[in-house]
Amino acid sequence: MSLAESLAAFQDRLSLTEIRCVHVAARLEGDVPVVPEMATVTFPDPKYLLESGRYSALIEAELVFSDSNDDPVARVGAGFVVDTAMEPGEPPEDEVVSTYVRFNTFFLAYPYLREALQSASVRVGMPPMPLPMLDRSESMPELIEIVRSE
């Protein structure tokens, strides 16, 4: 069976049950908010769990605001778990699950990550820097850079 066929068979066994926030944190690196020049979002490798009747993945992101010297002025992080019920069957290969996480599960959590990072940023005095829409035909990014526009 090809990877595409294995991915389709895996997806057919899944039914989304919940997307939930498991952490949000925001902090300034100094005492006074500084207007950042840019922001960088990084996405650590997702973690996933396969067990009888269940597939879950943890999708996380960290947003770091930097000044004109490239020094961090604020950090915001968030993580969401995507839970699905899984019909019985043969366990999928690791390559199938890791590909599914990067091309599908990540995009289920991404709108929630965008909102959490933006609202937590504003709460610590940073300007809103909306994360861009992403192309679903591509894999989960490792990094997004956002330059402040006047």
Domain ranges for the chain, please list them.
3-147
Mean per-residue pLDDT over the chain, rounded: 91
Question: 72 phi and psi, to 5 degrees?
Answer: -65, 135
pLDDT bracket for residue 93 (50, 70, 90): very high
**Fold type of domain 3-147:** Bacterial Protein-export protein SecB (3.10.420)
Mean pLDDT for the stretch of residues 98-117? 95
Mean pLDDT for the stretch of residues 27-47? 86
The Cα–Cα gap between 140 and 11 comes to: 17
Mean pLDDT for the stretch of residues 58-77? 93
Q: What is residue 149's predicted lDDT score, i.e. its pLDDT?
A: 60
3 state DSSP class of 122: helix
pTM over 0.85: yes
Dihedral (Cα; 42, 46, 47, 52), 10-degree rounding: 160
Would you say 57 and 105 are in contact if contact means Cβ atoms under 8 Å apart? yes
